């Protein structure tokens, strides 16, 4: 299976079109309301936004709850996919350091590709609240394959 998305003159995936046309429609991303902020495909970076919702919290009592940590996986994998054009990735390891309580904040996850090879990709992610306070950092390792490569239109 392949996915056609607009590309720029250099052949890089249009990250916004990819997010709107596919990434945001993935069931979990749609369910949690994940939003595109910005991406630099060539640099392998992207920022995604997770608006605060009570159902994102990690405790039954919303008053004392913080945001669940799943955003790191989503914000780290998006730049890997658009940077490499390879959709067939799977998280094989993820390490997260929670640095401060998120409270009831909207969060920004900034992912950055560290290395993207033929079989393994590694990305880091910082999660900040909208005031810029660092809430968590993570490193995610992905196994990469070729079955679902994103190909240029008409290829």
Task: Please write the tens of the pLDDT for every residue from 104-140.
Answer: 889 999 999 999 998 899 999 999 999 999 999 999 9
Average pLDDT over residues 140-154: 67
User: Quick one: CATH architecture of 3-151?
Assistant: Roll (3.10)
Average pLDDT over residues 72-100: 90
Q: Is 154 left (phi over 0), alpha (psi -120 to 50) or beta?
A: left
User: Distance between CA atoms of 52 and 58, rounded to whole angstroms?
Assistant: 12
User: Domain boundaries in the chain?
Assistant: 3-151
Q: Report pLDDT for 153.
A: 52
Task: Please write the tens of the pLDDT for every residue from 33-77.
Answer: 899 999 999 899 999 999 988 777 766 666 666 666 678 999 999
């Amino acid at each position: 299976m392949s996915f056609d998305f607009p590309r720029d003159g250099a052949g890089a995936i249009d990250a916004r079109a990819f997010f709107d046309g596919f990434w945001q429609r993935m069931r979990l991303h749609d369910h949690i309301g994940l939003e595109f902020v910005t991406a630099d495909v060539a640099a392998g970076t992207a920022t995604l936004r997770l608006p605060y919702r009570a159902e994102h919290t990690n405790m039954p009592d919303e008053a004392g709850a913080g945001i669940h940590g799943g955003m790191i996986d989503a914000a780290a994998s998006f730049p890997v996919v658009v940077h490499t054009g390879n959709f067939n990735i799977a998280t094989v390891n993820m390490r997260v350091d929670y640095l401060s309580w998120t409270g009831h904040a909207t969060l920004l996850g900034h992912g950055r590709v560290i290395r993207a090879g033929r079989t393994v990709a590694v990305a880091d992610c910082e999660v900040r609240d909208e005031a810029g306070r660092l809430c968590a950092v993570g490193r995610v390792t992905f196994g990469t394959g070729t079955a679902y490569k994103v190909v240029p239109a008409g290829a």
